[in-house]
Structure 1
Amino acid sequence: MEFNGALIVMAWITAIVLVQNCSNVHGRYHFHKGQRTQKPGEDPCSDAPPPYSPPEEAVPSSPAESAPSTPAESAPPAEPAPSVPADPYPDDPGNSTADCVFDVTDFGAVGDGCADDTAAFRAAWKAACAVESATLLVPSDRCFKITSTIFTGPCEPGLVFKVDGTLMPPDGPESWLKTDSPRQWLVFYRLDQMTLTGSGTIEGNGQKWWELPCKPHRGPNGSTLPGPCDSPALIRFFMSTNLAVSGLRIQNSPQFHIKFDGCEDVLIQKLSISSPKLSPNTDGIHIQDTKGVGIYNSIISNGDDCISIGPGCTNVDIEGVTCGPGHGISIGSLGVHNSKACVSNITVRNAVIRESDNGVRIKTWQGGSGSVSDISFENIQMENVRNCIIVDQYYCLTKDCLNQTSAVFVNQVLYKNIKGTYDVRNTPVHFACSDTVACTNITMSEVELLPHEGELVEDPFCWNAFGIQKTLTIPPIDCLQEGEPQNVAETPEYSC
């Protein structure tokens, strides 16, 4: 009888251990499940399953459709410095142990670069999403191909999407499923406390998209080449909070490499983003309608803006970023199609911009409204940059743009310790402000820009720009007007 009782006790203990194996979120053990291997001599694509067609989900498929409409609100009081988002994962979840690891190969992913692994990724996501502090693992030494996919929340907090291998979309528009959105590939939607990290590569296979005969773009030796039509952004976070993205190599995107819209509290660090210099519309990091963003210690080279900040962004801190080649760090474009745009409290510091068309830029369309305010560019090294410092309120992609009276109000912009060399084909400082809505409170301090080669360009360009030179600048910016313009933008259309 005592022996039977002991057996019953042992059975209960075993059952409790099995139940707690994945449910005890306070334990910090880590395990990897076995990876499937290919049989010797087997054709890697011979048994590839047919393309997986995901069901349609209620998520907008294009940036135009997706941008949340933000009602006009009174502007909060200006803060002395951007509110840097706290790291939601201070112990670096990419290197920590996890309670449950969901390896995509255990859900049927082949990882040979030929098979469509979409179904396996969706199944692994569904399982990981339901467990707190889970890790969806894309293992190393394998190449996984999936079609356009929306990874939807809400999920349990602490989810980590860990890419240690290579992850890529189908190769070009001819391979893109007709049922999939042509505007996006990986979408992370309605998530909180999620990390995208790993030591692997997200490869965009963008070459065939760049060659589509739609948007013309600059080619070698002054030529003009065709460009993208409806090309997909590689990674998109939409309507999500408390996000961290770190460690990955992201390259050759058909369009934007990574974008955030309708998000809040985002930490981006230690990314390597790259695509060819002439790849069109391949912004490195794009944010819009997003608040509380930190972008740190990343290297970005591409064919468009290194970092672009769209309407509806506030409290953005950028530090330790190296850009180039590309189009520099841009606020805008803003105010397109007579829209209202509000951007405030943006800091860019301790950055290097090299071999780029632009350095630090604010670009707005005529006819817009709203404001860009409390902007700080500090401690930036320029290396052979065409337009080191530029405000362009006449931004236009064609020759057909008409002059309009209204504009986005540009106010309180600091340029401090901006040094280096510029390409003499353009003046190093260019302030082209609206005829009717002047740029105000521009401060220049410790600006020293010398020609990379050739003669010094003596005359920076200013139009309706007001501000001060706190120190002697090189070259001198004598065209900057002192004081305030007669008509300061104080009407409601310029308030945010």
Structure 2
Amino acid sequence: MELIHGLFFIWVAVTIFILNSSNVEGRTHFHKKQKSNKENPVSQPPPYPPANPPDQNDPGNSSSDPCIFDVTSFGAVGDGSTDDTDAFRSAWKAACAVESAVLLAPSDYSFTITSTIFSGPCNPGLVFQLDGVLMPPDGPDCWPKGDSNKQWLVFYRIDDMTFTGSGTIEGNGEKWWELPCKPHRGPQGTTLPGPCDSPALIRFFMSSNLVVSGLRIQNSPQIHMKFDGCEGVLIEELSISSPKLSPNTDGIHLENTKSVGIYNSMIANGDDCVSIGTGCSNVDIENVTCGPSHGISIGSLGVHNSQACVSNIAVRNAFIKDSDNGVRIKTWQGGTGSVTGIAFENIQMDNVRNCIIIDQYYCFSKGCRNQTSAVFVTDVSFRNIKGTYDVRSPPMHFACSDTVPCTNITLSEVELLPAEGEMVDDPFCWNAYGTLETLSIPPITCLQDGEPLSYSERSIYDC
């Protein structure tokens, strides 16, 4: 027995010696970035590690992670003047082919690319990570003659993509704004006739399940960001800015787009802060600061006798300041279709002209002729709208069609005071029907009671 115990202790001692003398280190395993959860999207860009020097045998990989495609590894110079278009296109093609890939435009670089369409379909989970500066050529004189001057950065037929980062998209729009065919840019403040196209800065077309977050977008030649024919869009924590007098520089424009959330963003520009065109439904806007701008607008709708359909739009907890309009619905005479299920709630106004407006006589000039058909506006609520207004216009304005009245307009807790000067206590109503749930400031007594249209009459405007 003593011999057995002795052999056991010798075996233990040898084992401990071998373990202590072994020169083996443990390895830490890093998991690849997982596909984002669309129900709980991450609002901040993920902290990617600094890119390693590229492998000479594999120019497509800019780091130890094979899913990160750094545009500088594809030849992008990023000096603010070199054309880096080919490098971005090559990086896109490589990233598009890999699931959960990241196209990285790193910080401390200024990349210039010409009008480009980044097309899909791509593998799911693609992230376009912009941490540097990305910009188009500087003005119309530098724009390549063969490129479209109606759009710059286009994402086409993309599903499950995130466009994010800590970087800036600089639109270089000033020279476009100064074209003599732009409003009040010609001699003696006139506008010269002729073609006057300017590029929308970013366009998502025929795409779905998109996230745009964290970016700074500024000085667009025209619309800053446009979504056309898309479904499933989350926009959050954006900063969009252009000067107050920059023409047609809408912040975010939606058209034929469904299921959209716009949250926690700041927009200052020379046109609508957010504009919602035909074919849009289920749009939720919350915690957005607008101004200076032309406010948050539904429309314009029904131009050239077209059908327009907009439904289920909610704007909540917004702050609108120093703007030509607050919350607005605008339609042309002669259109058809309907605007229904609209809620404006908990909105603070600061020195806003036309705080609450429905205008069914929208027109670019005084030469528009009267027409009998109109887009039907119904089920619109304005709740807890408070603040100050510019006394040059009444703070509430409901100008509805002569033949197609606005119906079921609801006002509750509307309190608007003059920013300076005397109160304008004569809100305007024309063929507008609705309910005043609480006394308003200024008082409004011009809404009519009842339902002027029968069910059968209403049904002809269904979309």
Q: Please classify the TM superposition score into its range, dividing by the shorter chain length.
A: 0.7 to 0.9
C-alpha contact 1:304 1:327 (8 A) present in aligned 2:
yes
Cα distance in structure 1, aligned partners of 2:461 and 2:332: 14
1:41 matched residue in structure 2: none
1:452 matched residue in structure 2: 419
2:264 matched residue in structure 1: 297
Does residue 1:288 correspond to 2:239, yes or no? no
1:69 matched residue in structure 2: none
1:354 matched residue in structure 2: 321
Q: Secondary structure at the match of 1:122?
A: helix
Output the amino acid matched with 2:83.
Answer: D
Cα distance in structure 1, aligned partners of 2:211 and 2:118: 16
For residues 179-258 of structure 1, the aligned pairs below 5 Å read 179-217=146-184, 229-258=196-225
Q: 1:248 Cα shift?
A: 0.3
For residues 86-125 of structure 1, the aligned pairs below 5 Å read 87=38, 90-92=41-43, 94-95=45-46, 100-125=67-92
C-alpha contact 1:117 1:145 (8 A) present in aligned 2:
yes
Cα deviations by residue, 1:21-59 (Å, 9 ceiling, x for unpaired): xxx9x93279xxxxxxxxxxxxxxxxxxxxxxxxxxxxx
Q: TM-score, normalised by structure 2?
A: 0.86
Percent identity of paired positions between Structure 1 and Structure 2 = 73
1:173 matched residue in structure 2: 140
Q: RMSD value over aligned CA atoms?
A: 2.1
Output the amino acid matched with 1:233.
Answer: A
Cα distance in structure 2, aligned partners of 1:156 and 1:190: 12
Distance 1:29 1:342, change over 3 A: closer
Does residue 1:28 correspond to 2:12, yes or no? no
Q: Larger relative contact order (C-alpha < 8 A, sep ≥ 6)?
A: 1
Higher alpha-carbon Rg: 2
Q: Secondary structure at the match of 1:209?
A: helix
Cα distance in structure 2, aligned partners of 1:131 and 1:93: 22
Distance 1:158 1:143, change over 3 A: same
C-alpha contact 1:326 1:357 (8 A) present in aligned 2:
yes
1:378 matched residue in structure 2: 345
1:13 matched residue in structure 2: none
C-alpha contact 2:159 2:209 (8 A) present in aligned 1:
yes
C-alpha contact 1:197 1:247 (8 A) present in aligned 2:
yes
Cα deviations by residue, 1:271-317 (Å, 9 ceiling, x for unpaired): 00000000000000000000000000000000000000000000000
C-alpha contact 1:27 1:99 (8 A) present in aligned 2:
no
C-alpha contact 2:408 2:433 (8 A) present in aligned 1:
yes
Cα distance in structure 1, aligned partners of 2:392 and 2:190: 19
1:334 matched residue in structure 2: 301
Cα distance in structure 2, aligned partners of 1:204 and 1:382: 29
Cα distance in structure 1, aligned partners of 2:90 and 2:439: 62
2:408 matched residue in structure 1: 441
How many residue pairs are counted as aligned between the two chains? Answer: 415
Output the amino acid matched with 2:113.
Answer: I
1:3 matched residue in structure 2: none
Runs of 5+ in structure 2 lacking a partner?
1-28, 49-64
C-alpha contact 1:384 1:422 (8 A) present in aligned 2:
yes
Output the amino acid matched with 1:105.
Answer: T
C-alpha contact 2:44 2:214 (8 A) present in aligned 1:
no
Cα distance in structure 1, aligned partners of 2:185 and 2:357: 20
C-alpha contact 2:43 2:236 (8 A) present in aligned 1:
no
2:234 matched residue in structure 1: 267
Q: TM-score, normalised by structure 1?
A: 0.81
Cα distance in structure 2, aligned partners of 1:319 and 1:218: 35
Cα distance in structure 1, aligned partners of 2:225 and 2:33: 32
Cα distance in structure 1, aligned partners of 2:340 and 2:191: 36
Cα deviations by residue, 1:176-231 (Å, 9 ceiling, x for unpaired): 11111110000000000001000000000000101112242489xx9556798110
Deviates further, 224-233 or 254-263 = 224-233
2:368 matched residue in structure 1: 401
For residues 404-415 of structure 1, the aligned pairs below 5 Å read 404-415=371-382
2:15 matched residue in structure 1: none
Cα distance in structure 2, aligned partners of 1:491 and 1:159: 45
C-alpha contact 1:365 1:396 (8 A) present in aligned 2:
yes
Output the amino acid matched with 2:77.
Answer: V
Q: 1:96 Cα shift?
A: 5.4
Q: Secondary structure at the match of 2:326?
A: strand
